[in-house]
Amino acid sequence: MDTDKKTIAWLKVCQNPDGGFGNSTGSNSISAVDYTVAAVASLSEFYSEEPDEKEKCITWLKSCQNPDGGFGRIPKDTSFADYTCSALAALYTLGVYPKNILKIILWLKSCQNPDGGFGRAQGEISDVDSCASCISGLSIVGEKPDDPYRIIKYIHSLKCPQGYMSSAGGKGNIEYAALALTVLETCGADAAPTNELINFTLSCQNPDGGFGEVPKRPSNIDYTYSALDILYRTGRKPDDYEKCAEFVNLCRNKDGGFGWIPGADSRVEYTYYGLSCVNYLEVLR
């Protein structure tokens, strides 16, 4: 069986009897919205495949929606922006919309704060991850934020020598920078990485070829994905392209899935990052 077929088979085995996906093939891996969107996106984006139990997957995702319009990580869980965006993305990829679109829009917009940013839920402090979740979620249901300029201004306020901070007063890294660029792009602002950000991103590459969150931090597939996402926007290769490709390939296991680092067990969320890295590297070759 070739590598791609192994990956497809491994991802599909991660679907649980309830229709959702766990993070691995183990019986103790419960279904969660974030794992489910990673599996559905991996199958669709890279292989034009669907879950074997597509309808059960749709039903399970819909069961995670709460009366307030948002989605929890699992059924009857509290609504949060990241899980709401994940559920919307998974359902959209599977060809359906959830119920109560207006409630979803109102719930997402209720997460916006006076500083222009969005929190993970109403009343929570603004951060770049929640901004990306709310803006992307609104986009999926065909809605725009009420005042994109306020969001753009907030994101610009997070700029720092390390790219972008997660929230005011925090520390920057390449993951937050990649999310910030996504928000700017979705809001219609200039999302081209500056030379300063490109140079900072390149400086995060380690001798093993992977990238850490900041210079001299250990490599993992998550931060390597963020780095390649930033570099892809400019068509710039990593300084050591071959070593980067080698690191990504080493994160891929014999079962077809990807681990967080070479030798780590396969996980659905890291498999999405790994497949994205493979795709970016092919384009940048």
Closest to 229 (Cα-Cα) out of 189, 198, 187: 198
What is the distance between the alpha carbons of residues 284 and 57, in angstroms, rounded to a whole number?
34
Alpha-carbon distances of 4 from 138, 241, 278, rounded to whole Å: 33, 22, 12
- Could you tell me which residues are beta bridge partners of residue 252? 258
Closest to 197 (Cα-Cα) out of 169, 167, 155, 168: 155
What is the distance between the alpha carbons of residues 211 and 201, in angstroms, rounded to a whole number?
8
Burial degree of 205 (CB within 10 A; 0-12, 13-18, 19+): buried
Same domain for 185 and 196, yes or no, is no
Residue 238 DSSP one-character state: P
Lookup: tokens for 213: 């969150």
Listed as ranges, residues in the chain with pLDDT below 70 are 1
158, 191, 224 - which closes a domain? 191
pLDDT at 1: 57
pLDDT at 28: 79
Same domain for 115 and 20, yes or no, is no
175, 191, 207 - which closes a domain? 191
Lookup: tokens for 28: 């103790």
Same domain for 251 and 270, yes or no, is yes
Same domain for 168 and 232, yes or no, is no
Lookup: tokens for 228: 């390649």
- According to DSSP H, which parts of 80-220 are helical? 81-93, 101-110, 128-140, 148-157, 174-186, 195-203
What is the distance between the alpha carbons of residues 178 and 193, in angstroms, rounded to a whole number?
9
Q: Which domain holds residue 269?
A: 192-285
Return left, alpha or beta for 66; rule: phi > 0 is left, psi -120 to 50 is alpha, else beta: beta
Same domain for 170 and 203, yes or no, is no
Same domain for 88 and 75, yes or no, is yes
Same domain for 274 and 196, yes or no, is yes
Element (H, E) at 57: helix 54-63
Number of domains forming the structure of the chain:
3
Same domain for 244 and 255, yes or no, is yes
Same domain for 170 and 82, yes or no, is no
Same domain for 8 and 97, yes or no, is yes
Element (H, E) at 41: helix 33-47
Residue 164 DSSP one-character state: E
pLDDT at 261: 98
Closest to 237 (Cα-Cα) out of 284, 193, 198: 284
Same domain for 53 and 142, yes or no, is no
For the entire predicted model, the pTM comes to 0.95
174, 191, 208 - which closes a domain? 191
What is the distance between the alpha carbons of residues 153 and 176, in angstroms, rounded to a whole number?
16
Same domain for 9 and 21, yes or no, is yes
